């Protein structure tokens, strides 16, 4: 992993807070360091059972905060490491990206792929996803537009999210 990328992530994370989940989405499947971070987050969550008020009051916020801090720490640690630890695949990756800021390209491609995946959902599922994520309609209104219950709307979103997630996992 190049130092540039790590700095990029560190900046991204400090700017965007919970959006750090993007980092995991991309890397959690294959890269050992992301797996490591997940393990670390998990261990803290396990420990939080012993009266950690923040974790019990809002586990989601706690999860994002712990993960964010760990990624930042990790990035700083790696930045101090000598350059020689950079593996061949990382060098290649940098060489092969001659004229683009990696993050922008990544983001744009991901969006295209996601849009592609959404286009392949079943018509109802796709309609629900687009009305929810593009048109920001509440479940109730989507349900009325498509003659289904708000509960079904939620089920379609779960289904859509799962299919997109599994579709994207192949690219990660």
Partner 1 sequence: MTDANSRASRRLTEEAATWYLELRGGGDRRTNARFLAWLQRSPQHVAEYLAIAGLHNDLPAAAAAEKAAHAQLKALAASEPSVVPFRIKPMPVQPVPSMPRARASLASRPRTLRWLAVAAGVLLVFGGGIRMAMQPMPVVPGLAYASDASAPRTVPLEDGSVVELDRDSAMVVRFDTGTRSIELVRGAALFNLGKDPGRPMTIHVGTQVLNDIGTVFTVRAGSDATDVAVISGRVAVAERTPRWIDRVAPRLASGEVPVSPVVELGGGESARVASDGRLLDHGSTDIAHATAWLPTEIRFHDMPVAQVAQRFNAYVGRPLVVDDKALAAKRISGVFKAHDADAFVAYLATLPDVRVERTTTDVHVTVVGDKRKTATKL
Residue 42 Cβ, how far from partner 1 at the closest point, in Å?
Answer: 4
Q: How far is the CB of 133 from partner 1 (least distance, A)?
A: 4
Nearer to partner 1, 80 or 136 (CB): 136
Q: 80 vs 158, which CB is nearer to partner 1?
A: 158
CB 114 within 8 A of CB 164: yes
Rounded Cα distance, 115 and 23, in Å: 19
Least distance to partner 1 from the beta carbon of 80, Å?
26
Structure tokens at 11: 């900046």
User: Can you read off the two tokens belonging to residue 125?
Assistant: 């599922």
Q: Give whichever of 35 and 80 is closer to partner 1, judged by the CB atom.
A: 35
Between 80 and 114, whose beta carbon lies closer to partner 1?
114
Distance CA 162, CA 118 (A): 11
Using the minimum distance from each CB to partner 1, give the nearer residue, 30 or 79: 30
Q: CA torsion sign, 76 to 82 to 85 to 91?
A: positive
Provide, rounded to whole angstroms, the least separation between the CB of residue 78 and partner 1: 20
DSSP string, 98-162: -SS-HHHHHHHHHHHHHHHHHHTS-HHHHHHHHHHHTS---HHHHHHHHT--HHHHHHHHHHHHH
Least distance CB 63 / partner 1 (angstroms) = 7
């Amino acid at each position: 992993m190049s130092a540039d990328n790590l700095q990029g992530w560190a900046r991204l994370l400090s700017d965007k807070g919970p959006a750090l989940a993007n980092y995991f989405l991309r890397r959690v499947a294959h890269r050992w360091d992301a797996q490591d971070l997940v393990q670390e987050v998990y261990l803290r969550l396990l420990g939080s059972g012993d009266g950690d008020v923040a974790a019990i009051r809002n586990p989601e916020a706690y999860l994002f905060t712990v993960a964010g801090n760990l990624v930042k720490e990790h990035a700083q640690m790696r930045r101090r490491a000598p350059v020689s630890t950079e593996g061949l695949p990382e060098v290649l990756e940098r060489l092969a990206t001659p004229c683009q800021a990696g993050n922008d390209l990544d983001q744009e491609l991901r969006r295209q792929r996601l849009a592609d995946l959404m286009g392949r959902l079943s018509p109802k599922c796709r309609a629900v996803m687009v009305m929810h994520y593009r048109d920001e309609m509440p479940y109730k209104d989507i349900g009325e537009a498509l003659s289904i219950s708000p509960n079904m709307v939620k089920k379609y979103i779960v289904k859509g999210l799962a299919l997109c997630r599994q579709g994207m996992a192949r690219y990660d």
